[in-house]
């Protein structure tokens, strides 16, 4: 703790010295430097380059330091506006308020904070606001714990928001920057959540290659949007975007239905941008394999190692890493798994939401036996041996 | 938006709906209307689905007339009777989630200040007593403690009118309403006092008995919020349905309650007073 000191009169915000570029140039063209940093630090580096106008924070610690790091970035002048809000409903409401004003808004939360802000977050897609929410997953169900578990992701799967699930620190950096741009395309105009499994990624160090901080993303242009910003820069009309559609008549039913259909159509349209910026919405290893593992988040790292060890023993195992949970890369997954015989779906949660997702898209399109697991939750790690044992059992059960 | 944005391009005016033509030709944009002008100009809000005789509707209508810069205003609301009328006004209206007005307005105002550094945008959070001090209490208080620069207007009908007459924090002790089958146990919340403790720069309690005074109070609250800090108006806007006030007696009730316990009161900080003195002196 120290006392605040006013900025000198000749102070120049560091963000003002950065050069604006597109996400494509940032992620795919610029040379990169390799660092060894935590997931929270990777988030900080992404935010530093994301040209964020307004970041609103609440201390859901110990899961992540991200939003206090955002505070330091504000102090340095990489973020234009920042404050600590009252709690998560306040954070999510204010973040949407800032986004409605036509500026780029960002916040981060985890587990219980996400649940608390849920009412506000689930209204974002329909409001066609474009904030980016970084989510560091942790236990939400009782007995409460602060350990990693990504069941919270399942609560947001049907809201209409863009959802990315990072495997590691590198993904957290790349996905955050990609999300900041894709959300704001006129044919998208939707919010995004970038999730990462807490502790395993947020608090652990990993290799992250990043471009120079001399660059930042192009600023949000508040005039370019599927719906007008709430800035009163348009001639007045009686029916505002946020007018309640609460009459019990067919006009209101149709208004709501068509609005929601458009939200989910916009979500699908975002896929092409991620396809380019993330070099595909899935990653495939050993596409010719009969045994496949499909998963997202840090389960991918465990599966990756299992695939390597199986390879050393002469067994070819395929891996499908899902990068975008929403829009779900249905066609790519069906194509990747159409010839698989056995499919394993490791997850860090009790609900098995990825298992349900995969089953629903493969139904009738793949003859593989889909194994419901392995799963760990409540903070457990997933040893590679566990994945290999489940693979062996699958071969035995489904010869 | 400049006032020019409102004006249609040459040749287009006659093709626009008559209502829009009236707004352009006979509206309040660019003018300061007086209460005595009511009925002589096209108001920002006219049609609405509110109950016959609703005092809240009269007050909301007066708020719209009192907006110092409607072409640069955004209103934030939440569930409740008020939004049924507010959403019909010719001012952008954010209908958010339950009790999120002052949190949403905080982000909105800061965002607008970033985007329009050379054009002040007035943000007004206007909603009912339940939305503000029950479900929205946390956001309300923190926005005040943060000294957010927007105006908050409470439409205090002392009941949850829109959901069918449940007690709220602003209901008087002893009143029998839904969810208070034996009468409300606790006292009416002293939100004026809370505003004072939180350091709100301009606080006013008012009943819609004197239209001129309502317009002046609304303008003062919005100007203080624009230049100085948070402002709060607590307006008695009776629910004639849930309180069984005969429609012809709604204004009589407003005068009676005003005299009994809802008298006009202003609490103005020194810096807001100095500012208002300067503004009002300049106008004279």
- B209-259 pLDDT, tens per residue? 999 999 999 999 999 999 999 999 999 999 999 999 999 999 999 999 999
Residue A252 has pLDDT above 90, yes or no: no
Q: How confident is the model at residue A266 (pLDDT cuts 50, 70, 90)?
A: very high
| Domain spans in chain B, listed from the N-terminal domain onward | 32-283
Q: What does the pLDDT read at residue A269? A: 98
Looking at residue A146, what is its pLDDT?
81
In this predicted structure, what is the pLDDT of residue A82? 98
Contact B88/A at CB under 8 A:
yes
Q: Which residue has the tokens 């919270």?
A: A152
Pick from B67, B71, B78, B103 the residue to mutate for testing the A interface (most A CBs within 10 Å): B103
Mean pLDDT, residues A1-18: 94
pLDDT at residue B6, as a whole number? 80
Coil vs helix vs strand at A310:
helix
Highest mean pLDDT range out of A368-377, B1-10, B80-89?
Answer: A368-377
Residue A82: exposure state from Cβ atoms within 10 A (0-12, 13-18, ≥19): buried
| pLDDT value of residue A118 | 95
Q: What is the pLDDT of residue A237?
A: 59
Range A282-397 has CATH code 2.30.42.10: no
Residue B1: per-residue pLDDT: 53
Q: Which two tokens stand for residue A286?
A: 């050993």
Task: Find out whether A285 and A336 touch, Cβ atoms under 8 Å.
Answer: no
Q: Is B95 on the interface with A (CB under 8 A)?
A: yes
pLDDT over 70 (residue A54): yes
Residues of chain A whose C-beta is under 8 A from some C-beta in B? Answer: 53-54, 56, 80-81, 83, 85-87, 89-91, 93-103, 105, 119-120, 123, 222, 229-238, 240-244
- Is a pLDDT exceeding 90 seen at residue A56? yes
Tally the C-alpha atoms within 13 A of residue B52's C-alpha that lie toward its C-beta.
4
- A97 with B98: Cβ contact below 8 A: no
pLDDT per residue over A280-297, tens digit each? 999 999 999 999 999 999
Q: Is the pLDDT of residue A141 over 70?
A: yes
- Residue B82 CA to residue B133 CA, distance in Å, equals 15
Residue A123: list chain B partners with CB under 8 A: 96-97
pLDDT, tens only, A331-364: 999 999 999 999 999 999 999 999 999 999 999 9
Mean pLDDT of A53-57: 97
Neighbours of B53 (CB within 10 A): 17
How confident is the model over A210-230, as a mean pLDDT?
A: 95
Top pLDDT among A148 and A280 is at A280
φ, ψ at B164 (rounded to 5°): 110, 20
Q: What is the pLDDT of residue A2?
A: 87
| CB-based burial label for B268 (10 Å; 0-12, 13-18, 19+) | buried
Considering CB atoms only, which of B19, B74, B104 is closest to A93? Answer: B104
Residue A63: the pLDDT is 60
> What token pair was written down for A44?
């900080």
Instruction: Tell me whether B148 touches chain A (CB under 8 Å).
Output: no
CB of B221 within 8 A of CB of B231?
yes
Query: Does A243 have pLDDT greater than 80?
Result: no
Question: Hey, is A270 helix, strand or coil?
Answer: helix
Q: Does domain A14-217 have CATH number 3.40.50.1980?
A: no
Smallest Cα distance from B115 to chain A, Å: 7
For A223, which residue in chain B has the nearest alpha carbon? B115
Q: Does domain B32-283 have CATH number 3.30.420.40?
A: no
Which of B82, B85, B107 is the best residue to mutate to test the A interface, defined by the most A CB atoms within 10 Å of its own CB?
A: B107
Confidence tier at B186 by pLDDT (50, 70, 90): very high
Over residues A85-114, mean pLDDT: 96
Q: What is the pLDDT of residue A31?
A: 98
Nearest CA to A345 out of A313, A297, A312, A275 is that of: A297
Q: A92 versus A253: which is more confidently predicted?
A: A92
Q: Is A151 helix (H, G, I), strand (E, B) or coil?
A: helix
DSSP state of A220: P
Is residue B81 within 8 angstroms of chain A, CB to CB?
Answer: no
Q: How many CA atoms lie within 13 A of A219 on its CB side?
A: 16
Q: What is the mean pLDDT of residues A103-117?
A: 95
What would the two tokens of residue A366 be?
A: 């793949």
Q: Per-residue confidence at B7, pLDDT binned at 50, 70, 90?
A: confident
A361-394, pLDDT tens digit by residue?
999 999 999 999 999 998 889 999 999 999 999 9
Q: How confident is the model at residue A240 (pLDDT cuts 50, 70, 90)?
A: low
Residue with tokens 């580096």: A45
Domain with CATH 3.40.50.970 in chain A: 14-217
Per-residue pLDDT, averaged over B162-191, amounts to 96
Instruction: Tell me whether B212 touches chain A (CB under 8 Å).
Output: no
* Closest alpha carbon within chain B to A243: B87
Asked if the peptide bond before residue B191 counts as cis, ω within 30 degrees of 0, the response is no
Share of chain B above pLDDT 90, in %: 84
Q: Provide the terminal-to-terminal Cα distance of chain B, rounded to the nearest Å.
A: 28
Which of B107, B138, B146 lies nearest to residue A97, judging by beta carbons?
A: B107
Rounded mean pLDDT of chain A?
A: 94
Which residues of chain A form CATH 3.40.50.920? 282-397
Average pLDDT of the residues in B76-84:
92
B24 pLDDT higher than 90:
no
B63 and A CB contact within 8 Å: no
pLDDT of A246 above 70: no
Of B90, B100, B146, the CB nearest to A236: B90
- Between CA A94 and CA A360 the distance in angstroms is 36
Query: pLDDT confidence of B72, banded at 50, 70, 90?
Result: very high
- Whole-number pLDDT of residue A162: 98
**How many alpha carbons fall within 13 Å on the CB side of residue B282?**
6
Between B284 and A312, name the one with better pLDDT. A312
pLDDT of residue A144: 81
C-beta atoms of A98 and B107 within 8 A: yes
Q: Give this prediction's pTM.
A: 0.95
Burial grade of A138 (CB within 10 A; 0-12, 13-18, 19 or more): buried
Q: Which two tokens stand for residue A278?
A: 């993330």
C-alpha distance from B266 to closest chain A C-alpha (Å): 28
Chain B residues in contact with A93 (beta carbon < 8 A)? 96-97, 100, 103-104, 107, 139
A282 bridge partner residues: A322
Rounded to an integer, the average pLDDT of A74-96 is 97
Task: Print the SS3 string covering chain B.
Answer: CCHHHHCCCCCCHHHCCHHHHHHHHHCCCCCCCCHHHCCCCCCCCCCCCCCCCCHHHHHHHHHHHHCCCHHHEEEEECCCCHHHHHCCCCCCEEECCCCCHHHHHHHHHHHHHHHCCCCCCEEEEEEEHHHHHHCCHHHHHHHHHCCCCCEEEEEECCCECCCCCECCCCCCCCCCEECECCCCCCCCCCHHHHHHHCCCCEEEEECCCCHHHHHHHHHHHHHHHHHCCCEEEEEECCCCCCCCCCHHHHHHHHHHHHHHCCCCEEEECHHHHHHHHHHHHHHC
Q: What is the mean pLDDT of chain B?
A: 94
């Amino acid at each position: 703790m120290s006392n605040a000191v006013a900025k000198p009169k000749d102070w120049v915000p560091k963000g003002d010295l950065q050069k604006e570029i597109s996400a494509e140039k940032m992620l795919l063209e610029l040379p990169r430097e390799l660092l060894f940093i935590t997931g929270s630090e990777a988030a900080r580096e992404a935010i530093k380059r994301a040209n964020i106008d307004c970041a609103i924070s609440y201390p859901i610690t110990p899961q992540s330091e991200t939003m206090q790091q955002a505070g330091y970035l504000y102090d340095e002048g990489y973020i234009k506006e920042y404050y600590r809000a009252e709690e998560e409903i306040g954070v999510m409401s204010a973040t949407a308020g800032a986004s409605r004003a036509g500026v780029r808004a960002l916040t981060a939360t985890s587990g219980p904070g996400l649940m608390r802000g849920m009412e506000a977050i689930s209204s974002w897609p329909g409001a066609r606001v474009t904030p980016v929410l970084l989510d560091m997953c942790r236990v939400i169900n009782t007995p409460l714990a602060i350990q990693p578990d990504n069941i919270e992701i399942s609560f947001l799967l049907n809201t209409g928001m863009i959802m990315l699930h990072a495997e590691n620190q590198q993904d957290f950096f790349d996905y955050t920057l990609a999300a900041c741009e894709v959300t704001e395309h006129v044919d998208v105009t939707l919010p995004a959540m970038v999730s990462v499994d807490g502790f395993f990624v947020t608090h652990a160090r990993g290799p992250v290659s990043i471009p120079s901080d001399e660059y930042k993303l192009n600023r949000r242009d508040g005039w370019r949007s599927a719906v007008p910003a709430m800035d009163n820069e348009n001639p007045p009309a009686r029916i505002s975007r946020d007018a309640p559609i609460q009459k019990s008549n067919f006009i209101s039913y149709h208004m709501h239905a068509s609005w929601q259909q458009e939200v989910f159509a916009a979500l699908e349209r975002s896929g092409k941008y991620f396809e380019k910026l993330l070099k595909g919405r899935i990653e495939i290893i050993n596409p010719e394999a009969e045994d496949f593992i499909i998963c997202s988040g840090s389960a991918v790292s465990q599966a990756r190692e299992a695939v390597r060890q199986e390879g050393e023993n002469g067994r070819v195992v395929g891996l499908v890493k899902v990068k975008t949970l929403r829009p779900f890369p249905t066609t790519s997954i069906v194509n990747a798994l159409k010839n698989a015989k056995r499919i394993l779906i490791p997850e860090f949660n009790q609900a098995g939401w990825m298992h349900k997702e995969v089953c629903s898209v493969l139904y009738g399109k793949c003859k593989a036996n889909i194994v419901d697991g392995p799963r760990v939750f409540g903070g457990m790690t997933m040893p590679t041996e566990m994945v290999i044992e489940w693979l062996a059992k699958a071969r035995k059960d489904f010869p | 938006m400049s006032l020019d944005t409102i004006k249609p391009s040459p040749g287009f005016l006659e093709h626009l709906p008559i209502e829009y033509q009236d707004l352009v030709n006979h509206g309040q944009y660019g003018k300061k209307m007086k209460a005595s002008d009511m009925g002589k100009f096209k108001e920002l809000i006219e049609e609405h689905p509110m109950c016959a005789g609703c005092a809240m509707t009269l007050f909301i209508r007066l708020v719209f007339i009192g907006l110092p810069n409607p072409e640069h205003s955004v209103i934030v609301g939440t569930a409740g009777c008020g939004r049924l009328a507010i959403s019909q006004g010719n001012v952008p209206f954010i209908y958010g989630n339950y009790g999120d007005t002052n949190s949403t307005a905080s982000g909105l105002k800061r965002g607008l200040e970033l985007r329009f550094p050379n054009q002040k945008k007035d943000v007004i959070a206007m909603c009912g007593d339940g939305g503000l001090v029950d479900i929205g209490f946390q956001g309300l208080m923190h926005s005040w403690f943060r000294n957010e620069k927007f105006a908050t207007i409470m439409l205090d009908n002392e009941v949850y009118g829109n959901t069918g007459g449940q007690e709220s924090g602003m209901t008087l002790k002893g009143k029998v309403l839904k969810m208070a089958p034996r009468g409300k146990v606790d006292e009416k919340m002293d939100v004026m006092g809370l505003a004072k403790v939180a350091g709100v720069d301009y606080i006013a309690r008012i009943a819609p008995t004197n239209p001129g005074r309502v317009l002046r109070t609304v303008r003062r609250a919005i100007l203080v919020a624009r230049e100085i800090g948070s402002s709060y108006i607590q307006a008695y806007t009776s629910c004639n349905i849930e309180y069984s006030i005969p429609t012809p007696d709604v204004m009589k009730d407003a005068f009676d309650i005003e005299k009994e316990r809802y008298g006009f009161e202003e609490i103005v900080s020194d810096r807001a007073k100095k500012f208002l003195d300067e503004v009002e002196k300049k106008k004279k």
